[in-house]
Every structure is written in C-alpha cells, then in structure tokens.
Structure 1
C-alpha cells in the first residue's frame, strides 16, 4: 500500500467527519432505546452502557478513517475484486470533492480550541492541587484511612484541605488527590464528612479519573457532534449515581447524603473545572430526588448488558464496513451541523446562570419542605414548642435565601437581580389576585404569601447592601407601609374581626407589627416645588414635555403637599373616641386599648402643632426669590407669580 500524502489525509479526515454525523446519530439512538427499554437497569449498568456507546463512537471514527484512506485509489467491484482507478479519474474526482478539505480545516481549528480549553482546565485543577493546601486534622485523616480500609484500597491516596476549592473533588490521573474545602469541615457534620470522603474514594476505586481523561479526549476530538455531548452527560450523571450508591454502602442514609449534597451546592457558585471529579457533579436535583426515593437497586441479568454492548460494537463496525461496498458517498455538508453543535456546546452565560439558579432554588424549596416536615413532627412529639419551630424555620429560610441571592448577585449582577425580583413579586401578586377573585384562596392567605415574599426580598436586600459596602446605619431592609396602608389594613381587619375570622388580639398583634414598619411618605417642601417648577420650565422650552404635562406634575406635587399638611382635628378625635366607646361596650376592644389609641392620636396632633410652629420661615423667602427670577426672565407674569405665592400661604 502506498504511503498517503498530506492532501489525501486531509480529504479523508473531511469525509470521516461527514460520515460520523450519521454514524454518531445512529449510535446515540441505539443507546437511547437500550436505556429506555431497560428501565430496571441500575446506575452501574446504565453507566457501562453509556461508556460502551462512547467507545463505539471512537472506534467508528477510527475505522472509518482507515477504510477511507485506501478508498480514493481503489474501487470495489460487485464481485469483491479490487481494481486500480486511472490516475486522471482520481485527479478529477479529487478536484470535484475539495469541500472535505474545508471541513477538515474547520475540524482542526475546533480541536485546537477544545484542546486549549482542556489544557486551561487542567492547569486550573493543578493550581488547586498545589496552591493554598495543607494537611487535614488528624481525626479527619483517621476517618479517611478507615474508609480506605473499608473499600479495600491502598493508603497511598492523599487527603488535602484546600482554601481554593469550593467543593470536594478528586484531582489528578496518575496520583489522584482528594481535595476537601476548608469550609466543608466546619459546615458539615462528621457523618456528612464521612459520606463525602466515601463518595470521592469511590471515584478513585472505580478508576473514574482515568475514564474521565479518556472521555475528555473523545469530547475534544468529536466536539462537533451533539450525540457525543449527550453521551458524555449521561456518563457523568450515572457516574455520580454509582458513587452515591457506593458511599451509602459504607455508611449513612439516603436522606443524610441528600442534605450533604444540598449544603455543598449552597457553597458552590461556579462550576468545577472538567478534569476534576466533584461531589456536586451531575444533576443535583435529580440526585437528591433519587436519594429521597432510594430503593434497592435492581440488578438485571448480565446477559442484557453484554447483549447491548455487543450490539453497539457490531453496529459501529457495520457502519464503517458498509462504506467500502458503495461506489460513491453522498452526505449533507458538515458546516451547519458543526455550528448547531457549537450552539449546544457553548450555551450563553445567561442561560447557564438561569439553569444554575433554577436548580438552586428548587433545592432550597425542597429543603425547606423537609425542614417543615421535621419541625412539625418535633412539635407533635412535644420536643419543641410551636414558637420555637417557627423561629427555627425562619432562621433556616433566612440563611438559605440569603445564600441564593448572593449567588444570584454573583452570576447576574445587581441591577438584573433587582428588576427580576420586582417583576416576580408583581407577577405573583397579579396571579394571587385572580385566585382570590376565583375563591381559591382568601385575602388573608394572599397577604401572608406576599409578606413572605417581602421577607425574602428584605433578606436579600440586607445581604447585598452588606456585601457591596452600602450598608451604613441600616441593619435590615423590611417591608414598609404608609399611613394609608395602615388605615386600610385596620379597616379590613376590623371587618374580619366582625366576621369572626380572626380575634381582636390577633388584629392588634398584626397592627403592632405594621406600626414598626410604617414609614413616612415622600414629602415636598415649597423649595422643592419651586425647584421642580423651574426645572420643568426648562424641559418645556427644550420640547421634552408639554406645558400640560408640566402642570399635571405640579398639581400632583401640590396634592401631596396638601395631604402632608392635613392634620387630625378635634372633630376627628371626638368621632374616633365615640366609635371606640361603642367597640368597648361591644367587647371588641378593652378600655386600655381604647386609651392607647386615643393617646396616639393626641401625640400625632401635638406633633402636627409643633411642626407647624417650627416650620422655617425662609421657605417663603426662597420661593419669593425663585418667583422674582422667573418674572425677570419672562418665564411667568407677576399675576401668575402672585397666584403661586398666595396658593402657598406666604
């Protein structure tokens, strides 16, 4: 056989890539059907099936390449005898099929990019192994050695504590090292640490670090095919399931492992580099759900697995052998498929962030549900009081949602988070209003849910302010109410008391909580009004707004100033006193509660008087100066200035 030249190799590579588009799709379909038709396969057999499919892809490409390498100089007759093709015919054939060369060049560029990515990730993991690491506490080392003995492994494996790693992982191929974050030893209980160590050692016992290296090489070479990435994802998912099962055989319960995974996920913001095997790899929620519904693995007959593996390998060989029985090959251009594969391989940063946050949010909600169930059981058993249970639940929610918003800030940025949170709140409020109108929930239930959402927003706001250095004198960011909100809530709850839905004591407790969150509405002074008027006058002259729009805005400011200046009159006080006297006689409130409310009204009346008496007189002087300037500039007439002056009471 003649030694092929560079041009022949380049063309063969192009044809090999083109053929693998349909070959890889066939292997992927066969694997999918094999897994779907055998739902009783446990994680080990599903992992083996996926690995066999990946090997079949690699064999298929290699076989195709070597078969096609001899094809341009040989023609196979129906009788099976080989005859040499005339050189001029081969030359014309090559000139008409030069597009495979372009495909080959594109593939080589892609391989170079993927190899660079792989090397960068490898350097990242090497840095984790060699920077800011130290020996662990002796008690953890003893636990590590004990697990090694239980798994029947040698003790040459090293356990290292890392200040850079975010999650436990196995690093290295020839001499693997188990890296555990320093924070994990404090955040996890000893039983949870035991499970984590057993999980990582299971990776090493199964030689997953070697398989992962081969997997990364195949991904680099066959990066253009979505089927390869689907198989690779299946391998990683089933690999984690296998190690979860192995760690449970050593010690621990499925629920304890699920809680451990969730805690580790909360501490992880960025994904681990691919050359490492992390404890939080795979699909977290799928793993947690699988552990929560954990049952003894079904072990199918080994013949099923052997049959699937043989079928995959025979199919791969048959696909490539079939290439030598045809006279010509017609395939679709590889360019579009390569671009589609690139879209699958490199999803946008925003979609990655959304997927990661959605997974984290689902985990938090599942964890909160589990905590609520545990606390309910403890209350029923008399271990704790209902008040203690509520306090513990609130503390757990605060901690988990704060971590969620910190991760959201890290991934999506401050402004995006604020807009998204507000939009979510408005959307939820609109949905719940429809549910109230449909009679699905009560107004009280709607308000409770909205208050819970506001608590989460407040928690997140507190964390973000603290982290960004903007938290000065504030220690919390709770929901605030205006006096109007308070009055409406009081009237609404009064009707609920009359209807027997809540008691007077519950109403008073809720009102007391609202009082602490009542804030003063935005107010405007006469100086603010004059400044706003001058600014809007310039906007009118610049054509940014019309004079009608300017007048509407000024009228709104006047209305807010009028409301601010409104005060409680003696008649209001007398009416309130008479109304509350009837409530006392009806037994709705006590005489002490009535007196407290009247005292608050008196205090408000006293403050109004003091504010009016202490109002600075220079407001009128400032208004006079502004109006004089406007008159001199021709912006308004003296008559208009006089009307403004009188309307402000100066």
Structure 2
C-alpha cells in the first residue's frame, strides 16, 4: 500500500470520528443521567466503556478503509454523498475540501499527538524519578503498610515525600508508590492524612493507574474531540468517588475523610494554590457527598452537553462541548454561599511586606446576593497589615459564588473567606 493511500485512510478516519465521537458522547451522556443515583462503580463502567468505544470504532473504521481503499471514504461521511475520488478537481464544498487537505489534517494531527506523547513521557519520567529519589518517611511508611494490610492489599505500597505537589498521587502497578506532598506531612493532622492515604490505597486496589494510562493514550490520539475529554473527565470524577467510598468503608467514618478533603482544600488555598480536586473530581461535591449522600434530582442543566453533542452529531460538525459542571441544587436544601476557588485570582503579595517579612491571616466578609454576585466586602479580621488586607480583598472579590440557599431558594448572605499570607 502506498503512503498516499495510508494518509487518505487515516485522514478519513479522523474526519469520521467527528460524528462517531459525538454519537458515542450523546449515548453515554443519556446513560449517565439515567444512572445519576446508581453506584459510582456503575457510572464508571459506562464511562469507561464509552471511552474504549471511542478508540475501537476509529480503529475498526481505519482497518476497513485500508482493506477497501480510501477512494470512496468521503462518501461514507454523509449518506448519499459521492465518493471523494469522484469529485471533480474544481468542485467546492465540505467533502472536496476535506479530500484535498487530508495530508494537512493528518500532519497537524500527528504533530499534536507527538507533542502530547512527549508531555506524557516527561510526566512518567518525573514520577519514576520521584519514586526512586525522594525521601521516605519511615514512620509514615510503617503507618501506610499497616493501613494497606487492614484494607486487604497483599503487596507492598511505598511512600515518598515530595516537595511541590498540591495533593497525593498514586503511581505504578507492579510496585505501587504513593507520592505525598511535604506540606501535608508537615501541616495536616496525622489522622486526617491517614484518611487521604486510605483513599489512595483505593486507587492501588483497583489498579487505577493502568486505566489512567490508557485514558492518556486515548486523549493523545483523539485529542481534537471534546467528547473524549468529557468522557475522560467523568471517568476521573467517578474514580475519585469510588476511592472515597473505599476509604470511608475501611476507616468506618466518612466524616474523617470529608474533614481531610476540607483540610486539603484549605492548605492548597492558603499556600497560594487555588483549591482543586485531588486527582480529579470536585472537592466540594465530594465533601457534600460524604456528609450527605442524598438522592440527586434530575438536573436539566446536565442535558445541555447532551443537546450540544446531538447538534454536533446531526450536523456532522466539530463543536466545543459544554463544560458547565454546576453542582445540582437539591430540593429544599439549606446551605451557605459557596466560593468557586477556580475562578479566583491569586492575591498579589505586596513587595514591601515581602521585604519586611510580614505574614498573617486576614478574614474578609463578602455580601453575596441571590445570583451569587459580590455586592460588598469588608475586612472582618485584619492580618495586621493594611496593604496585605487590601490586596487579598481586591483579588478575592473577583471569585464567583454559588448563592446561599434557604429551603431551596437563593438568598442574600454574608460569607467569610480566610486568606493566609505566608512566605514559606
């Protein structure tokens, strides 16, 4: 087979996956909405199956194109359309344009895939080096080994203390290792850190590292389709819930893991890392689920990605996926305003205060209206330095909030946020 025929077959395979991925995304989205109150293991299996189909369908399509020849591949994109080989050189339209630019499409895809592969390889090398070179805390290693035995793991799980991480990471399959941020070892109460380690052992028990590697491979090959990234993100979110359930079951107290996740959020935010989920998922949603595992009502906002993918599938066009992950509002729920720290801007440390070695904690009060907007702010408790107080107030006023609820209805409420200024 000539190189030109191979490029044509690969190019049409990439083009076909635009509608194939949209169709798979629609189907999985509908199933996940229907299974919203099922066990996370069930949703995890559905999402994994959808992502595997995203790899298998183009692979089968490529094999069929190579076997039959890619000349008529364009005609398979739209029912009733003529083959690409039958289009006159001067013809205009989508199919002729695609057929004339398959070489550029494949070249661009190959370049991006190589860049993503390089990034993945660098990440794997860094993890391997950290597992070999970083310090081992004997006391925590012994504690982790006892915890692994309690959780029914029959193999050794190593522990390494690493600087610069924002949350624990589990790596390796044959010889698993848990990389723990040095800031957690130094700043988190031992019983809460043990809860996070139990969560990581849940990943080890289920061999999640291998599944995550396969996810990275699929993301690298099919990076251009938003349905692939959406499915992969759902897999990681469900995986975290499964590990949460594993840890809560073996600890016997879900509240301890919820407190550990809350403490992890505080440590990340106070050290200039805006709060993000450990290894996937949403920290606030996971904390609420551990403390109040209520039945979820149907959230019509979740249908927006489904409708978007349906439009893509019907039009056979590449459109961005809707990434609205707003937490569902439970009927009759009463809660305070919740800040979305991913929308916040990191406060700028005043140079004069850095030079003077000033540190402190400021508490800022924000008046949040029924729409989650900040209508006013004030310093509830000063750090002792006016310039640091003002810098924190100005930056955090840009945060987005979910409004407070009373019996399910949004209300205006005063919310307080602490910010820790530290030079460490």
Residue correspondence of structure 1 range 620-631 to structure 2 within 5 A: none
Counterpart in the other structure of 2:417: none
Q: How far did 1:331 drift?
A: 8.6
**Take 2:107 and 2:223, find their aligned partners in 1: how far apart are those partners?**
14
Q: How does 1:123-522 map to 2 (within 5 A)?
A: 123-131=125-133, 133-138=134-139, 140-268=140-268, 269-270=272-273, 279=278, 281-294=280-293, 337=318, 411=346, 413=348, 453-455=378-380, 458-459=382-383, 464=388
Q: CA deviation at 1:109?
A: 2.0
Please provide the CA RMSD for this pair: 4.5
Distance in 2 separating the partners of 1:25 and 1:184: 41
SS at match of 2:380: helix
Are residues 104 and 73 of structure 1, via their aligned partners in 2, closer, same or farther at CA, if it must alter by over 3 Å? closer
Secondary structure in structure 2 of the residue aligned to 1:267: helix
Q: Give the alignment of 1:457-606 within 5 angstroms.
A: 458-459=382-383, 464=388
User: Structure 1 residues 464 and 13 mapped into 2: Cα distance closer, same or farther (>3 Å)?
Assistant: farther
Write 1 or 2 for the structure with the bigger share of helix.
Answer: 1
Larger Rg: 1
Q: 8 Å contact 2:28–2:46 — kept in the other structure?
A: yes
Contact 2:5–2:70 (Cα < 8 Å) also in 1:
no
Distance in structure 2 (CA, Å) of the matches to 1:208 and 1:460:
47
Contact 2:161 2:182 in 1 (8 A): yes
Residue from 41, 44, 47 that aligns with 2:41: 44
Deviation at 1:75, TM superposition (A): 7.6
SS in 1 for 2:159: strand
Q: In structure 1, what is the Cα distance between the partners aligned to 2:120 and 2:188?
A: 32
Question: Structure 1 234/463 Cα, relative in aligned 2: closer, same or farther at 3 Å?
Answer: farther
CA distance in 1, matches of 2:33, 2:295: 20
Q: Which runs of 5+ in 1 are unaligned?
A: 77-87, 298-329, 346-354, 360-365, 371-400, 416-424, 433-448, 469-650
Q: Which moved more, 1:97-106 or 1:25-34?
A: 97-106
Matches of 1:55 and 1:250, distance apart in 2? 31
CA contact (8 A) 2:144 2:197 kept: yes
Provide the aligned length of Structure 1 versus Structure 2: 332
Distance 1:272 1:71 in 2: 52
* 1:63 equivalent in structure 2: 60
- Secondary structure of the residue aligned to 1:215 is helix
- How far residue 137 of structure 1 moved from its aligned partner, in angstroms, is 3.9
Distance 1:187 1:466 in 2: 27
- State whether residues 147 and 198 of structure 1, in contact with CA within 8 Å, keep that contact through their aligned partners in structure 2: yes
Please state whether the residue corresponding to 1:294 is helix, strand or coil.
coil
| Greater relative contact order, per chain length (Cα 8 Å cut-off, separation 6+) | 2
Aligned mates of 1:160, 1:243 — CA distance in 2 = 20
2-side partners of 1:126 and 1:465: how far apart? 42
Q: Distance in 1 between matches of 2:68 and 2:111?
A: 25
Whole-angstrom distance in 2 between the partners of 1:285 and 1:89: 56
1:128–1:165 contact (8 Å) kept in structure 2: no
Tell me if structure 1 keeps the 8 A contact 2:274–2:344: no
Q: Distance in 1 between matches of 2:315 and 2:135?
A: 56
Q: Say if 1:18 and 1:332, in contact at 8 Å, map to a contact too.
A: no
TM-score (norm 2): 0.65
In structure 2, relative to structure 1, the CA distance for the partners of 1:465 and 1:271 (3 Å cut) is closer
Separation (CA, whole Å) in 2 of partners of 1:331 and 1:369:
40
Cα distance in 1 for residues equivalent to 2:222 and 2:316: 17
Residue 30 of structure 1, CA deviation: 0.6
Instruction: Check 1:253–1:369 CA distance in 2 against 1; reply closer, same or farther (3 A cut).
Output: farther
Q: Structure 2 CA distance, aligned partners of 1:115 and 1:463?
A: 45
CA distance in 2, matches of 1:89, 1:408: 55
Given that 1:115 and 1:220 are in contact with CA atoms closer than 8 Å, whether structure 2 keeps it comes out as: yes
State the match for 1:8 in structure 2: 5
Gaps of 5+ in 2: 74-84, 297-313, 328-333, 351-363, 393-424
